[in-house]
Amino acid sequence: MHANIEDIYKLLVALGLGAVLGLEREYRSKAAGFRTLTMISVGACLFTILSQMIGGAGNPDRIASNVVQGIGFLGAGVIFKDNFSVSGLTTATAIWVSSAIGMAAGSGSFALAAFTTAAALVVLSAFEIIQSRVDRLHQYRQYRVSYKMEELTASHVEDDFKRSGLRYRKQKQSRDGMVVTSWYEVFGNEGCFQALDKVLLADERILSFDN
C-alpha cells in the first residue's frame, strides 16, 4: 500500500475546496473557520483514500462510514443553547458539508466536490441576504413588563401587543407587593416592535419594561 500521484491530487483538491469554504466562515468570524474546515476536508479525504486501500473493492466504506459519525461529534461542539435561542447550527452544518466535500474528493468525484462547494457558498453567502429580510418580517423577542396592579392589568398590556400587530404568548407572572411583573414571548416584524415600544414608553402606568 503506497500513495500515488492520483491520491496526492485528491488531497490537494480537498485542501483547496475546504480552504474556500473555510475562508467564508473565517470572514464571518465563526467558530470553525479557515484552518478547521480545511483540515476537516483533507482529513475526510485521507480517510476515504485509506478506506479504499484497506477495505478493498468489496468493502470500501469500512473507514469512511465512521468519518460521518465522527464529524457529528465535531459539529455538536459548536452548537450552543442560550435560553430560547440556539446558535452554531450553520457552522455545524458547514463542518458536515466540508467533510462530505473531502470524501467526494477522496473518491475521485471532483466535479461533485466542486459543485457542492459552490452550492454551499451560495447558501452561506447569498441566502443570508434572503434570510435577513425574512428575519425582519418575523422576529422574536422576550418582554418583561412591570406595573401596579391597582392601575393596570395584564389584559391591558396584551391589548397593546394586539394593537401593535404582534402575536404573543404569556410565559409567567409574579407579584411583589402591589407590583406585578409579566413575561411574554412576542412575535412580529421590526415596525410592530417599534410601535409597541412607543406605546409602552408613553403609558405612565407601566413602571418598567425591557426586551
**Rounded distance between C-alpha atoms, residue 68 and residue 116, angstroms:** 16
- The cell numbers describing 199, all together, are 406605546
- The answer to whether residue 2 scores a pLDDT higher than 60 is no
* 158 or 29: which leads in pLDDT: 158
- The answer to whether residue 181 scores a pLDDT higher than 70 is yes
Give me the pLDDT at residue 14, please: 95
Task: Work out the percent of the chain whose per-residue pLDDT is above 90.
Answer: 31
The tens digit of pLDDT for each residue in 116-125 reads 999 999 988 8
Give me the pLDDT at residue 25, please: 83
Is-above-0.75 flag for pTM? no
* 66 or 41: which leads in pLDDT: 41
Mean pLDDT of all residues belonging to the chain: 83
**Rounded distance between C-alpha atoms, residue 13 and residue 117, angstroms:** 11
Does residue 63 contact residue 121 with C-beta atoms inside 8 Å?
Answer: no
Catalogue all structural domains in the chain, each as residue range(s) with its CATH number. Answer: 5-136 (no CATH), 139-210 (3.30.70.260)
Q: Strand pairing partners for 183?
A: 144, 172
- The answer to whether residue 206 scores a pLDDT higher than 80 is yes
